């Protein structure tokens, strides 16, 4: 990991397979080893990132406005309560389950929002001039986003388990609400958005020769 400029497949007029790492001449379109499509590391691929990102953001709105699940006690005689994501959390705090409230809060509010921000930022600065340190930091963020994205599904699974389990006829029953679907879709779309981002773009903006005093901007 020195500051020396590094020979990349792109600079050598070659193209590397993102799936298996095998290197091919630039004009080749599919990898002969693993069969994956070969994609050059340029900003055109960012369209896909933005499209999935927007779809995920759109689905995130109803996910927060509509109820996640409906709880019915004593066949509705004691009333049935509908809880959105935030209401469900308030309820957990109300009953003193602070640790679980924190897990739910992190998984369904912090992580999705942080993910939207990080992907948007990565896509905006991709390919722009950067220093080696900045590139390493961006790669780290990309890896965290990629790793953590799937964990937002927790909330969907919780609703699924509860509605299957709490079917006690007259006494109590839980049904899933429309927000469960839109939340699941939102998570899936942001995962696709993160997967469409090509981390090789992060490194495209590095100077060809290491010039001292030349700072990249972001």
Looking at residues 7 to 66 of the shown chain, list those that interact with another protein (rule: CB under 8 A): 7-10, 12-25, 32-36, 41
Contact between 154 and another protein per CB under 8 A: yes
Contact (CB, 8 A) for 201 and 126: yes
Query: What is the C-alpha to C-alpha distance for residues 116 and 184, in angstroms, rounded to an integer?
Result: 15
How many residues sit in the footprint of another protein (CB under 8 A)? 71
Site for another protein in 97-136 (CB under 8 A): 97, 100, 103-104, 135-136
Interface pick for another protein out of 86, 114, 141, 162 (rule CB under 8 A): 162
Q: Residue 81 has what DSSP assignment?
A: E
Contact (CB, 8 A) for 56 and 116: yes
Q: Considering the complex, what minimum distance in angstroms separates the CB of residue 206 from another protein?
A: 9
Interface pick for another protein out of 54, 110, 117, 161 (rule CB under 8 A): 161
Instruction: Dihedral sign for Cα 99, 100, 101, 102, please.
Output: positive
Q: Considering the complex, what minimum distance in angstroms separates the CB of residue 193 from another protein?
A: 12
DSSP H or E segment with residue 82: strand 80-83
Site for another protein in 168-197 (CB under 8 A): 168-172, 176, 180-181, 184, 188, 191, 195
Contact between 164 and another protein per CB under 8 A: yes
CA dihedral 124, 127, 128, 134 (to 10 degrees): 90
């Amino acid at each position: 990991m020195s500051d020396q400029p590094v020979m990349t497949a792109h600079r050598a007029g070659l193209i590397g397979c993102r799936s298996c790492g095998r290197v091919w001449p630039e004009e080749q379109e599919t990898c002969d080893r693993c069969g994956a499509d070969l994609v050059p590391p340029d900003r055109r691929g960012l369209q896909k990132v933005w499209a999935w990102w927007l779809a995920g953001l759109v689905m995130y709105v109803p996910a927060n406005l509509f109820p996640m699940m409906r709880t019915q006690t004593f066949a509705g005689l004691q009333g049935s309560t509908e809880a959105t994501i935030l209401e469900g959390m308030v309820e957990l705090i109300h009953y003193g389950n602070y640790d679980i409230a924190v897990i739910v809060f992190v998984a369904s509010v912090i992580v999705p929002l942080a993910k939207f921000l990080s992907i948007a930022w990565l896509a905006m600065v991709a390919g722009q001039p950067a220093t080696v340190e900045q590139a390493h930091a961006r790669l780290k963020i990309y890896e965290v986003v990629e790793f953590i994205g799937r964990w937002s599904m927790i909330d969907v699974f919780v609703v699924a388990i509860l509605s299957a389990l709490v079917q006690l006829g007259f006494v109590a029953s839980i049904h899933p609400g429309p927000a469960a679907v839109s939340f699941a879709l939102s998570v899936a779309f942001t995962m696709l958005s993160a997967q469409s981002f090509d981390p090789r773009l992060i490194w495209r903006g590095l100077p060809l020769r290491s010039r001292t005093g030349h700072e990249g901007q972001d």
